[in-house]
């Protein structure tokens, strides 16, 4: 189905899409992946630590 028709958009109309970045940290067992954990950026490590997966 053509979403532009479904949304009633015409040529020249603008569509703004706001999306959140997917989080996948909770899907991994960080205890078994200490080397990978150590290579993560500090901001990602903080999020992982908040999930108690360190």
Q: What is the pLDDT of residues 39-48, one digit of tens each?
A: 999 998 998 8
Would residue 1 count as lying in a domain? no
Q: Is 33 helix (H, G, I), strand (E, B) or coil?
A: coil
Predicted structure pTM score: 0.51
Cα 51 to Cα 35: distance, rounded to the nearest angstrom? 18
Predicted pLDDT of residue 47:
87
Domain range for 47:
24-54
Strands (DSSP E) along the chain, which ranges?
none
Cα 43 to Cα 11: distance, rounded to the nearest angstrom? 41
Would residue 6 count as lying in a domain? no
Predicted pLDDT of residue 52:
67
Number of domains into which the chain is organized = 1
Q: What is the CA radius of gyration of the chain?
A: 19
């Amino acid at each position: 189905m053509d979403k532009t028709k479904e949304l009633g958009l015409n040529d020249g109309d603008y569509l703004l899409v706001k999306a959140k970045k997917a989080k996948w940290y909770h899907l991994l067992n960080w205890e078994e992946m200490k080397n990978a954990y150590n290579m993560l950026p500090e901001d990602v490590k903080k999020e992982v630590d908040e999930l108690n997966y360190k």
